Amino acid sequence: MKVAIDAHALGSGLGGNETYIRNVIRALAAIDPDGDYTLFLGPRSGDEIAGAEHMRRVVVHPHSPLVRIPLSFPLALARAGADVVHVQYFAPPLCPARLVVSVHDIAYERYPHFFTPREVTRFRVLVPLAIRQAAVVLTLSEFSRRDILRRYRTPPEKVVVAPCAADPAFRKIDDPAQLVAIKERHGIDGPYILCVGNLQPRKNLKTLIAAYVALRTAGETRHKLVLVGRKAWLYDEIFAAARDSGFAGDLVFTGYLPREDVVALYNAADLFVYPSIFEGFGLPPLEAMACGTPVVSSSTSSFPEVVGDAALTVDPLDVSALAGAMARVLHDPALRARLRERGLRRAAAFSWEATARIILEAYRRAAG
């Protein structure tokens, strides 16, 4: 079975999509070292993935989506003679191989105002086409599976849950010098609260900033708030909220960071907060847990499945509830210790290798 993997997200800074495909490739290389895999890359493929050196590589040109999806990618697939191709969200209309598509969530259907009109149109047209074409649809949670089944009337047996896990790089760091160094590198003076995610409306960062302002105004904390993530779309209001907060000097926007920096920042934080309104999985809370950082997250969409009892969960649109949960964790050492312990156990319950076995079975099903 010749498997093609659309890995154009590698090196793109595309956040969740890049993290997902990198870990899928790494885990498949570990569980199926003799498999026949070809990675179809963009021009900025990034560093080598450990263990996947035996996988063939094809750089697809031109890389523009308008050309890559309908023309250059399917032509490259045909030349490679692939039996199965694994893509995220979008597939070539005329695909020369059996299709496995990963649809992480359908937020664009639930919250179209969180996207640009062009993005909503693209997703609403191309994702249903890919789902209909696919032999198997992979998604990240039972919540997303139910969402896809309801929205697109997909046969239940076609949609398979293959959850995310924290990359093994996300772990506790016991060297205090590393934690001091990462704060100095990013100009963080003193303790801080951390959030990691692309700057876009769905991540609900305006509400997080409002909750932080409430804490500071009430004298509940002097922590800084550090926000890690690239500018995605519709982010101007986030920066406006920061400027108008009265605490702009204590709000640190780092932009997109390499993974090793993010790992260290998780470790050095006193609290990780993730108030996203809607996620198909929501990986950052699990990454924070794997680093031993206590977590406050949303109570909506897939979060109960992911965090279990290892985080404080709140309505992400309730500023006072979010501020209250943050204050509880910051002021209660016993609660912080309990969340750290539960979080480490919770993160360990998810494994990319276990997920890769589900994905490999999906490839076999598609090929058959």
- Confirm if 85 and 97 have CB atoms less than 8 A apart: yes
DSSP assignment of 86-151 equals EEES---SS-SSEEEEE----HHHH-GGGS-HHHHHHHHHHHHHHHHH-SEEEES-HHHHHHHHHH
**Same domain, yes or no: 46 and 60:** yes
The strands making up 295-298's β-sheet, listed across from edge to edge, are 251-255, 224-228, 192-196, 271-274, 295-298, 312-314
**Same domain, yes or no: 63 and 135:** yes
**Same domain, yes or no: 187 and 331:** yes
Q: What is the pLDDT of residues 109-118, one digit of tens each?
A: 999 999 889 9
The predicted structure's pLDDT at residue 238: 97
Tell me the one-letter amino acid at 239: F
**Same domain, yes or no: 143 and 42:** yes
**Same domain, yes or no: 362 and 326:** no
For residue 46, pLDDT over 70 is answered with: no
The predicted structure's pLDDT at residue 65: 82
Mean pLDDT of 205-211: 98
**Same domain, yes or no: 228 and 206:** yes
The predicted structure's pLDDT at residue 47: 66
**Same domain, yes or no: 25 and 58:** yes
Count up the domains in the chain and report the number. Answer: 2
Domain carrying residue 54: 2-165+351-367
Taking the CA atoms of the chain, what radius of gyration do you get in angstroms? Answer: 21
For residue 180, pLDDT over 80 is answered with: yes
Residue 145 covered by a domain: yes
Let me know if 261 is exposed, middle or buried by CB neighbors in 10 A (0-12, 13-18, 19+): middle
Instruction: Give SS3 for 365.
Output: helix
Residue 242 covered by a domain: yes
pLDDT band at 14 (very low <50, low <70, confident <90, very high): low
For residue 77, pLDDT over 80 is answered with: yes
- Please state, in angstroms and rounded to a whole number, the distance separating the CA atoms of residues 196 and 269: 11
Q: What is the pLDDT of residues 133-159, one digit of tens each?
A: 999 999 999 999 999 999 999 999 999
Mean pLDDT of 172-201: 96
Residue 171 covered by a domain: no
| Average pLDDT score over the chain | 95
- Confirm if 38 and 78 have CB atoms less than 8 A apart: no
- Please state, in angstroms and rounded to a whole number, the distance separating the CA atoms of residues 36 and 360: 12
- Confirm if 91 and 123 have CB atoms less than 8 A apart: no
The predicted structure's pLDDT at residue 11: 82
**Same domain, yes or no: 31 and 137:** yes
For residue 64, pLDDT over 90 is answered with: no
**Same domain, yes or no: 94 and 108:** yes
Q: What is the pLDDT of residues 218-260, one digit of tens each?
A: 999 999 999 999 998 889 999 999 999 999 999 999 999 999 9
Residue 36 covered by a domain: yes
**Same domain, yes or no: 149 and 67:** yes
The predicted structure's pLDDT at residue 43: 84
The predicted structure's pLDDT at residue 12: 74
Q: Which two tokens stand for residue 122?
A: 């693209």
Residue 183 covered by a domain: yes
**Same domain, yes or no: 337 and 190:** yes
pLDDT band at 62 (very low <50, low <70, confident <90, very high): confident
Residue 317 covered by a domain: yes
The predicted structure's pLDDT at residue 143: 97
Residue 115 covered by a domain: yes
For residue 49, pLDDT over 90 is answered with: no
pLDDT band at 63 (very low <50, low <70, confident <90, very high): confident
Three-state helix/strand/coil letters over 12-76: CCCCHHHHHHHHHHHHHHHHCCCCEEEEEECCCCCCCCCCCCCCEEEECCCCCHHHHHHHHHHHH
Residue 170 covered by a domain: no
**Same domain, yes or no: 344 and 359:** no
CATH number at residue 251: 3.40.50.2000
How many CB atoms sit inside 10 A of residue 236's CB?
Answer: 10
> Among 34-48, 222-236, 353-367, where is mean pLDDT lowest?
34-48
